[in-house]
Amino acid sequence: MADDLARVGARWDDDPSAGEWILPLLGEFGPTLGHAVPQAYAAYAVVPLPRDAEGDLDLDAVPARLDALLEVLDPWTGESPLRGTLWEGWPNLYAPGGGVASSGVAVMLAWDPDEPEPSAQELAEARREAEQELLDRLVARPLADRLRLPHREYHVWTGTSRTVTGLLDAVELPSHVWPEHRRWFLGLPIYTAEVALGGPADLVGAVLADARLEARAATPSTVLDIDD
């Protein structure tokens, strides 16, 4: 049973204090970069996430884009652990002890209509097996208090660069990521198609210069592409 974030190289924080510095530095809640990234940095940029031929977010290509971004940020990260948040509303989170019923996903059973209908006992056993298989892929939310930011609450975690794409595979994209020393900051609003970045001018310049990222310069008033 997945009872923590160890499989993505992270752990839940015991309290939200690591992220409390963010709140007084955020702009008004809305679609702008300033609501996603603290307004305390010298420069800003926006990194779009890849889309498929239909214009939808290409989830198969997103990890490579995020890995490339973190690679560019690495010289400014150094040995600092990463801190981050995860929106508390993602369905792949469940309450410890609450089982699948406490998550946002459910098991549905079906059988071949040309075959005899399974007995109640067979259906119950199939449901138990399916729920356990599903639970093994879900992540238990922490019991710690949540970080409260405007109109949203978040679980706080500590991890590494691999946690960012690992969370996408296990739950969803993290909502905020920053190194413990706070030299840079990533904001990924819920249902985002873009990553907002704040940092020193030379760091943002390196991001803008990397052709893999297709980044553009931004300010706190830049409107992000958010499907919310």
The band of 134, judged by pLDDT with boundaries at 50, 70 and 90, is low
Strand-pair category, 43-48 with 194-199: antiparallel
> Could you tell me the pTM of the whole model?
0.89
Sorted by sequence, the CB contacts under 8 Å of residue 167 that are 6+ apart come out as 5, 8, 10, 86, 173, 174
Instruction: Produce one character per residue of 189-201: b if its CB has 16 or more CB atoms within 10 Å, e if not.
Output: bbebbbbbbbbee
Return the pLDDT at 5. Answer: 83
Burial-class residue 134 by CB neighbours within 10 Å (0-12, 13-18, 19+). middle
Q: For the segment 93-111, what is each residue's pLDDT rounded down to a tens digit? A: 988 888 777 777 776 777 7
Domain boundaries, the chain: 6-93+139-218, 104-135
Q: Using pLDDT thresholds of 50, 70 and 90, give the confidence band for residue 227.
A: low
Tell whether the model's pLDDT for residue 1 goes beyond 60: no
AA letter at 120: A
pLDDT given for residue 130 in this prediction? 63
Per-residue pLDDT, averaged over 152-168, amounts to 94
User: Which of 97-106, 134-143, 186-195 is least confident?
Assistant: 97-106
**% of the chain surpassing 70 pLDDT:** 91
The SS3 assignment for 158 reads strand
pLDDT (0 to 100) of residue 59: 87
User: Over the stretch 69-93, which tens digit does the pLDDT of each residue have?
Assistant: 999 999 999 999 999 999 999 998 9
Under the banding of pLDDT at 50, 70 and 90, the label for residue 9 is confident
Mean pLDDT of 175-180: 98
Both tokens assigned to 133: 């298989």
